[in-house]
């Protein structure tokens, strides 16, 4: 599958912001957006430290804007939102992908206040703060769109979750416990549900996505090298899924394979 398999008619997002896109899945998604037959007019790629590899990519792609952003810092989020608004020159932001996340390899014995708090702050509070701050731009995109129904090309928030959060499945329990990570993503799924209920009437779709077990720094820490899949096919699959989301999937928990996952 290539990016050209995401057909022009299916996906015409004008602007997208991906958090945590200096490496891993975030960077992969940014590259896939750039490779689309009709790439977005604006791709905002965020990083905690400027000078990453996105900067080199931005030299080649005038539609790529690299922004500094720490999702745990409200001032940093506000500053990034102002910069995005300035770039968009009166247009709304169509798609916010809350991809940034962290994992601490913990057990039931050594999980503590510090690990529970930092993982929750990053994986749960961060996406909520991002959604709140970018809401005016998302609403604007929905209002400016002529499309009916909900879609990622109109206005959407995608939260990068994990099947590790599924209370029904609790996958790979014998391999890794990571209670802080599982809890933070389960709570993120509830944020997705709340956002989807609150903003569907404003024309904004919100969905949780499990990206698959991808060979990234986090993936390696989480499940070891054996179960990894390389990032390219998975980020392509994620893009394909993103291009087809509609109100049917609003407030749901989707996998990279297009299946609805159990909460």
Give the nearest distance from C-beta 185 to ligand NDP in angstroms. 7
- As given in the structure block, the two tokens for residue 230 are 């390389």
Q: Which are the contacts of 215, defined by CB distance < 8 A and separation ≥ 6?
A: 225, 228, 229, 230, 231
Q: For residue 231, give the 3-state DSSP assignment.
A: helix
Q: How far is residue 137's CA from residue 194's CA, in Å, rounded to a whole number?
A: 19
Q: How many CB atoms lie within 10 A of CB 208?
A: 30
Q: How far is the CB of 233 from ligand NDP (least distance, A)?
A: 13
Q: Which is nearer to ligand NDP, 11 or 213 (CB)?
A: 213
d(CA 2, CA 73): 36
Least distance from C-beta 209 to ligand NDP, angstroms? 8
Whichever of 15 and 122 has its CB closer to ligand NDP, that residue is: 122
Q: How far apart are the first and last CA of the chain?
A: 29
151 vs 162 by CB, closer to ligand NDP: 162
Q: How far is the CB of 144 from ligand NDP (least distance, A)?
A: 28
Q: Pick between residue 203 and residue 219 the one whose CB is nearest to ligand NDP.
A: 219
What is the full DSSP assignment across 26-54?
A: HHHHHHHHHHSSS--SEEEEEESSSSSHH
Cα–Cα distance between 14 and 138 in angstroms, integer? 12
Specify the residue, 40 or 127, whose C-beta has the smaller distance to ligand NDP. Answer: 127
In angstroms, give the least distance from the CB of 122 to ligand NDP: 5
Residue number, 75 or 146, with CB nearest to ligand NDP: 75
> Alpha-carbon distance 198 to 196, whole Å?
6
Q: What is the DSSP letter of 260?
A: B
Return the number of the residue (122 or 243) whose C-beta is nearest ligand NDP.
Answer: 122
Least distance to ligand NDP, CB of residue 240, Å: 17
Bridge partner list, 159: 98, 208
Q: What are phi and psi of 34, to 5 degrees?
A: -65, -30
Enumerate binding residues for ligand NDP (CB under 6 A): 19-20, 22-26, 48, 69-72, 99-102, 122, 160, 162, 210-211, 213-214, 216-219
State the nearest-atom distance from the C-beta of 235 to ligand NDP, in Å. Answer: 10
């Amino acid at each position: 599958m290539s990016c050209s398999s995401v057909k022009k008619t299916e996906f015409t997002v004008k602007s997208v912001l991906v958090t945590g896109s200096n490496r891993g899945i975030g960077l992969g998604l940014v590259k896939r957006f750039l490779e689309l037959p009709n790439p977005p007019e604006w791709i905002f790629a965020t990083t905690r430290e400027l000078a990453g590899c996105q900067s080199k990519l931005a030299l080649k792609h005038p539609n790529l804007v690299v922004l500094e952003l720490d999702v745990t810092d409200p001032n940093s989020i506000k500053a990034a939102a102002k910069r995005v608004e300035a770039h968009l020159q009166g247009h709304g932001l169509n798609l916010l992908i809350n991809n940034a996340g962290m994992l601490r390899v913990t057990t039931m014995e050594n999980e503590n206040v510090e690990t529970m708090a930092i993982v929750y702050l990053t994986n749960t509070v961060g996406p909520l703060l991002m959604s709140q701050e970018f809401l005016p731009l998302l609403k604007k995109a929905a209002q400016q769109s002529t499309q009916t129904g909900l879609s990622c090309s109109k206005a959407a928030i995608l939260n990068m979750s994990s099947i590790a959060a599924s209370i029904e499945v609790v996958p790979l329990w014998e391999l890794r416990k990571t209670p802080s990570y599982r809890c933070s993503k389960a709570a993120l799924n509830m944020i997705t549900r709340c956002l989807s209920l609150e903003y569907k009437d404003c024309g904004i779709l919100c969905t949780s996505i499990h990206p698959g077990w991808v060979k990234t720094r986090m993936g390696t820490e989480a499940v070891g090298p054996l179960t990894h899949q390389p990032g390219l096919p998975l980020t392509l699959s994620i893009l394909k899924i993103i291009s087809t989301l509609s109100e049917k999937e609003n407030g749901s928990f989707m996998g990279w394979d297009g299946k609805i996952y159990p909460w």
